[in-house]
Amino acid sequence: MALASHFDLGGPSRVYGDAVFALQFQRFGGPEVLQVGEAAEPHPGAGEIRVRVHAGGISPVDLGLRAGTTPMSRRLALPHIPGVDAAGVVDEVGPDVTGVAIGDEVFGIVNVARLGGAHAEFAVLQFWAPKPALMPWTEAGAAASSVETATRALDLLDLRDGMTIVIDGAAGGVGSVAVQLAAARGAHVIGTARAGNHEFVTGLGARPTTYGPGLGGRISGTKVDRALDVAGGGGLADLIDITGDPGHVVTLADFTAAQHGARITTGRLGGEPDGSHGLVVAADLFAEGRFRMPIEAVFPLADGAAAHAAAGQGSRQGKIVLAS
C-alpha cells in the first residue's frame, strides 16, 4: 500500500511502499534523540483500530519513556515511536471490533508496548471514543490519556456529587482535565497552582489557591472530602492532614504513597481492562459545552524535539501537541 505523508514535515510529501513517516528515537536520552524518519506501517490486531493521525498530545509518560527513566522503558523495542494520545480518521478496523467504521473520526490511546506510539502518520488505538464534530483536532489529539488518567483517579476516590476535592497541580494537562471532570460530577473543586495560573484554574471551574507547603492554612475552614495529587511535589502529608484519612488521597506521581498510607495509580499503557468509558463521558461533556482540553502550544511533527523540550519545562496551562 502506498501511503502519502499526512503530517506537515516542513517539505513536500513523499510516498513509501510499506513505510510511513514517524517521530522516533533509537536510544534513550533528551529531546535531541528524536528524529523524523521511516518506520514500518502498523496494523491493528484484535480489538484495535488504526487511524490516520491528525494530532497527538505529549504526556509525561512520553517524556519518561524517551528518557528511559520509567520501568516501562525496558519493555520498548528500539527504535521506538513515542506518543500515547492520538486523534484521527479510522482507516483500518481489527478483528472483534464493533461500533466503529472506516471514515469515523475518533480520539484515543495507543498500546505503546505493542506497536509504538502515535506520533506518526498512522497509529493503532487500543481505547477510543468518537470525536465530537466541533472538537478541534488538537484538543482531541491531546485529550485521551489525560481524561483516562483523571477518570481513573476520580473513580478510585469515589468522588460524588456534593463532595469537596483538592486537586494539587490543577493547571497542567491532567490537572486541568481532572478539575473539569470533578466539577461535572457535582463536586466542589479547590485547585492549587502558581499565582500566574489562578485565573486559568478559575475558568476551569475550581477555586484556586497557591501551590506548595502550608496548604492546610490557606484553605482552613473548608471541609475537604477527597484529594488528588497530580504534581507529585511532596504534598501528600498535607493532603492527608486536610482530608483526615490517607484512604481519601490518591496520587499520580508520588511513589512514597504507600509510606503515607495513600494510594497511587500510574498510567494505563496496555494490557489493562478497557479504559474508554471516561473518553465517552468527556466527549459528551464537550458536546454540552462543559469540557475542553486546554492546549499550551502546537508543533509540527518535524519539530518533535522542540515540542518534547517544551513539554518538559514544568508548569503549563494544558498540553503540548504535535499536529498536521
β-sheet with 188-193: strand ranges across: 207-210, 188-193, 164-168, 226-229, 249-251, 263-264
What would the pLDDT profile of 205-216 be if each residue is shown by its tens digit?
999 999 888 999
The yes-or-no verdict on residue 16 having pLDDT over 50 is no
C-alpha cell at 28: 534513550
CB atoms within 10 A of CB 273: 7
Predicted pLDDT of residue 269: 46
Q: How confident is the model at residue 252 (pLDDT cuts 50, 70, 90)?
A: very high
Choose among 46, 260, 30, 20: nearest CA to 117: 20
Question: Which domains are present in the chain?
Answer: 3-145+270-323 (3.90.180.10), 147-264 (3.40.50.720)
What would the pLDDT profile of 277-298 be if each residue is shown by its tens digit?
899 999 999 999 999 999 999 9
Q: How far is CA 86 from CA 64, 68, 91, 144, 292, in A?
A: 18, 22, 14, 8, 16
- Mean pLDDT of the chain, nearest integer: 89
Cα(157)–Cα(276) distance, integer angstroms: 18
